[in-house]
Amino acid sequence: MKKTIRAALLSGALAIATGAAPLAAFGETQMPVSLFKVVTAKDEVIIGLNVNELRALGGVEKAPAGIIASTLASRNELTVWQYAVSRASDGGLQVAPLRQIGLLAHDSLRVEPYSSPLRVLPHD
C-alpha cells in the first residue's frame, strides 16, 4: 500500500498535470467529489475537492488538476481533504474523507486526476 502524506510534507518541483477528473456520482442531495493524486518524490496522497471548491479555484470545466497545481504554486499552500479507502457500515469498501491536510508547494510535486471504482463519499 502506498504511503500517505503527512500534513504539509510535500517535496520536489511543481509539474502540472492536465486533464479533467471524473466526478463521482452521488444522490441528489450530496455534492460530487473529484479525486486527485498528489505525487512527490517521497510519497503520494489522494485528495478530494467538491464542485464548489473546484469552482473557487477556477477549475470545474478547465483542467482541474492543472488548476490545483497552479493554485498551490501561487499560494504556496492549500488546505484539502485527504481521502482513503475504508469500510462502509454494510461491510463494502468506499473512498471516504480521512482528514484535512495542508499541501505545500515544492519542487517535484505532481497533481493528476484519480478515479476509483468504489463509492466516493463527500466531505463537509
Give pLDDT, residue 111. 93
**Residue in this structure with the C-alpha cell 504539509, named with its chain if needed:** 8
Report pTM: 0.73
Average pLDDT over residues 105-111: 83
Q: How much of the chain exceeds pLDDT 90, in percent?
A: 57
Please give the distance of CA 48 from its chain centroid, rounded to a whole number. 4
Is residue 62's pLDDT more than 90? no
Residue 6 within a domain: no
Is residue 108's pLDDT more than 50? yes
Residue 2 within a domain: no
Give pLDDT, residue 14. 23
- The C-alpha cell that represents 36 in the structure block: 486527485
Give pLDDT, residue 30. 61
Residue 4 within a domain: no
Is residue 64's pLDDT more than 50? yes
Name the residue range of residue 53's domain.
Answer: 13-118
Average pLDDT over residues 50-79: 88
Residue 102 within a domain: yes
Per residue in 22-59, pLDDT (tens digit) is 333 333 356 799 999 999 888 899 999 999 999 999 87
Which of 95, 103, 88 minimizes the C-alpha distance to 123? 95
Residue 80's Cβ-count burial label (10 Å; 0-12, 13-18, 19+) is buried
Residue 124 within a domain: no
Those residues with Cβ within 8 angstroms of residue 111's Cβ, 6 or more apart along the chain or in another chain: 16, 17, 36, 37, 38, 39, 65, 66, 68, 69, 72
Residue 123 within a domain: no
Count of domains for the chain: 1
